[in-house]
Structure 1
């Protein structure tokens, strides 16, 4: 099959890459999205080698469940071992022996085909386009915040970052917390948020400091954490979403002095995300940027790295 393989240093296009091993559902990839985590892996995050890509929509080609064949699906990216304590209590996302699509010991979606266990797959309704379906995985990560924190409508909430994930988080949080401010750095990215009714700021003013009950850090850079700590109130809650390759040390002293609650937040359940897209509760169309053929992966990666770029797709 055609695939782009990362060898730990470089991305390589291979038109004769081994097909996925049998034993799982075989999915033909319709469309895959380039995400910030993919770009961080290229910089050394997770020390991964193999086929990148974990945001995808595809069509089932082979499955022991005949009802799945021909269906469009998206897939939860963590595949647990099924026998450990984490898996037994429904926490396969934290299975110590898990594989993770395009991130850890499992080839991903920048290829013609991928495979996943049937329990990881979710059928996509016809009302959701391929482009929209690719957003299910990051949108599920945004909804995970609602699972981790009992959001209060009266809270003053800030999101630090203006990229793909940050914009999804903003739409999800706004469903509960109307007093919402986005702190970004790129006017062109913030344009799509102008009509949402939230406050938009480039840069932090002194009046913003220590004025938010909840702050979500979703910048994808080391600079996001210090900015976040400027904004959060004493005894407030900070959600950390960025996965960063850099090993730069961060000063955690303010979290202790101000008794801040830090919550790491990663993957989420797919059903709320699929439902939100199907009912138009969340809109992703303004975040769609461009599509490249798989053979043009290098151009796609370079375009995705540009500061003003939103979602870039690869099409096998």
Structure 2
């Protein structure tokens, strides 16, 4: 099969690789669409030791099952593979399973390929009227669905339901869409990149601004740099909630004194539970997350160019979805 392989810092090669081989309890999926995630970019830049070269990246995927009892089923892939038996898994918090794996991280190759092997329980069937390119958005949307759910659950019942999202990439936009789907009608997205901010406003109908003013009861940091944590600390109101999704930098930025004196709740959020993923997929199928027409499709064969364009800030769309068969 052909795959886009991460060969080293800012080096990607599209070439023949050994075929994906499903193990017991797994299915072979023909990948029809796979999105580029921020974590793929971190690996590409050499910032993720968990993803050493050479490696097939990519975990935001949808396709069709090849062979077996589910042959032909159109599916979106939950890439988080967990043990299913530990305390975290038994309590429905699979995302903190101590033995969790994710496709695109050893020992599992990713979905920037024509085929990928995935456990049966990680596949969610997609209705025939839903394009697989949209179904591939389930993974990044689920990340933000999880963060929005936790933020709302941590909010005081009397809190004004307004929210600020820092970062207008796919995770930030998805957070705004999830908050809206959950009943938060006043959502502001901060995005400093001019072309992306214009895209968010014109194409995605978001209240997108270059800088935020005032304070907000809910702040979601979808970037995760020291500067964005500092902004979140400054912009959250007393008694409010900061949900932290981004993994840009490991340290710095939080105003711990303010968080203590003003009883601000800080929540680190990682991926999603299996139920979050299923709920997100259903929200896509039901249309509750909008038309989801804000991604750009390109061929996997030219995936290296897509990474370079993202690196240079030349992409207005919040998400690039690659197609292995173009």
TM-score (norm 2): 0.85
Per the alignment, residue 60 of structure 1 pairs with 65
Greater Cα shift, 181-190 or 112-121: 181-190
Q: 1:232 aligned to 2:236? A: yes
Aligned counterparts of 2:56 and 2:142: Cα–Cα separation in 1: 22
The one of 152, 173, 179 aligned to 1:173: 179
Question: Against the structure 1 CA distance between its residues 284 and 8, is the aligned structure 2 distance closer, same or farther, given a 3 Å change threshold?
Answer: farther
Asked if 2 retains the 8 angstrom alpha-carbon contact of 1:34 and 1:304, the reply is: no
Gaps of 5+ in 1: none
Greater Cα shift, 48-57 or 282-291: 282-291
Aligned counterparts of 1:163 and 1:289: Cα–Cα separation in 2: 13
Question: Against the structure 1 CA distance between its residues 90 and 171, is the aligned structure 2 distance closer, same or farther, given a 3 Å change threshold?
Answer: closer
Per the alignment, residue 250 of structure 1 pairs with 253
CA RMSD, Structure 1 to Structure 2 (Å): 2.3
Aligned residues: 307
Q: Report the secondary structure of 2:164's partner residue.
A: strand
Question: Against the structure 1 CA distance between its residues 104 and 159, is the aligned structure 2 distance closer, same or farther, given a 3 Å change threshold?
Answer: farther
Asked if 2 retains the 8 angstrom alpha-carbon contact of 1:158 and 1:180, the reply is: yes
Asked if 2 retains the 8 angstrom alpha-carbon contact of 1:79 and 1:98, the reply is: yes
Q: 1:154 aligned to 2:160? A: yes
Question: Against the structure 1 CA distance between its residues 306 and 272, is the aligned structure 2 distance closer, same or farther, given a 3 Å change threshold?
Answer: farther
Aligned counterparts of 2:40 and 2:144: Cα–Cα separation in 1: 18
Deviation at 1:286, TM superposition (A): 3.6
Aligned counterparts of 1:267 and 1:3: Cα–Cα separation in 2: 25
Asked if 1 retains the 8 angstrom alpha-carbon contact of 2:32 and 2:323, the reply is: yes
Question: Against the structure 1 CA distance between its residues 109 and 90, is the aligned structure 2 distance closer, same or farther, given a 3 Å change threshold?
Answer: same
Question: Against the structure 1 CA distance between its residues 146 and 169, is the aligned structure 2 distance closer, same or farther, given a 3 Å change threshold?
Answer: closer
Deviation at 1:18, TM superposition (A): 4.4
Per the alignment, residue 299 of structure 1 pairs with 305
Deviations 1:98-128 (A, max 9, x none): 2111135311100111111101100011121
TM-score (norm 1): 0.88
Q: Report the secondary structure of 1:106's partner residue.
A: coil
Aligned counterparts of 1:255 and 1:284: Cα–Cα separation in 2: 37
Asked if 2 retains the 8 angstrom alpha-carbon contact of 1:303 and 1:309, the reply is: no
Deviation at 1:315, TM superposition (A): 1.7
